Amino acid sequence: MEIPPELVGKLRSARRVAVLTGAGVSAESGVPTFRQAQSGLWARYDPQSLATATAFKANPRLVWEWYAWRRNLVAQAAPNPGHYALVVLEHRIPEFCLITQNVDGLHQRAGSHNIIELHGNIQRSKCFDEHTVIESWEEQTDIPPHCPHCGGMLRPDVVWFGENLPPEALEAAREAVEHCELFFTIGTSGIVEPAASLPSLALQAGAVVVEINPQTTPQTRLASYILRGPSGVLLPELVARAWPNFP
């Protein structure tokens, strides 16, 4: 698709840019989006009802195994050209902030550094009772494994429905959004709060909002520029237009 030259000019001259990413950014890495039909063994489960503390309490083994399956999928995936284009933006824009809802760690693996993780990361676990974060653990005979400190159950270190986001992460994200000139919402369905309110916060603070997504979302109406298509194609194209000589 034709990238609007006006947008290219705005990106090239921008000093403060904030980007919100969602599961669509990892779709071209082979990681299913959150609301995409799950495959194989997990096809009959609704992700929205597994990603809750209530589901974990009712059936900790089932929820742990779902996350173990996803962790394995992510471990086998690699960042795609969209992730790498965002690394280039971090190098080119004086104040660049990447806010992600993704829990897959692919932005970090691509080489992005200034990242705010709103919903945690599935490569870490934490104690269900005491919230102590555990970076590595043995997959024991017991599923879920036990906390090495108190013996309680481990759970993934992600934010489930009904739980608060890490307050420092949310605060830092709002701060970046309120101070950016250009705000990108990329690969997110824009229905999960409070992340879904960041585009309107950006607009209220005077930023130009850009959406990159193959589908319409509730935030489309806020966007001055809409790039309809996959981020793994459109982001590299946008970056190449803005900085044709960048390696």
C-alpha distances (whole Å) from 109 to each of 153, 169, 191 are 28, 20, 26
**Scanning residues 90 to 119, which ones bind ligand BJW (CB under 6 A)?**
101, 103, 119
Please check whether residue 149 is in contact with residue 126, taking contact to mean a CB–CB distance below 8 angstroms. no
CB of 59 to ligand BJW, least distance (A): 15
5-13, 133-141, 172-180, 212-220 -> range binding ligand BJW (CB under 6 A): 212-220
Nearest to 10, CA basis, from 197, 176, 224, 245: 224
CB of 104 to ligand BJW, least distance (A): 8
Please check whether residue 183 is in contact with residue 204, taking contact to mean a CB–CB distance below 8 angstroms. no
List the catalytic residues: 119
CB of 95 to ligand BJW, least distance (A): 24
Name 175's Cβ contacts closer than 8 Å, sequence gap at least 6: none
Please check whether residue 171 is in contact with residue 97, taking contact to mean a CB–CB distance below 8 angstroms. no
Q: In the complex with ligand BJW, which residue's Cβ is closer, 76 or 215?
A: 215
Distance of CA 151 to the CA centre of its chain: 31
CB of 149 to ligand BJW, least distance (A): 23
SS3 assignment for 207-232:
CEEEEECCCCCCCHHHCCEEECCCHH
Q: x/- binding map, residues 167-206, to ligand BJW, per CB under 6 A?
A: --------------------xxx-xxxx------------
The verdict on 158 binding ligand BJW (CB under 6 A) reads yes
Spatial separation of the C-alpha atoms in residues 18 and 15, rounded to whole Å: 10
**Scanning residues 5 to 34, which ones bind ligand BJW (CB under 6 A)?**
22-24, 27-28, 33-34
| One residue of 97, 198, 231, 242 binding ligand BJW per CB under 6 A | 231
Where on the chain is the footprint of ligand BJW (CB under 6 A)?
22-24, 27-28, 33-35, 51, 101, 103, 119, 158-159, 161-164, 187-189, 191-194, 213-215, 217, 230-232
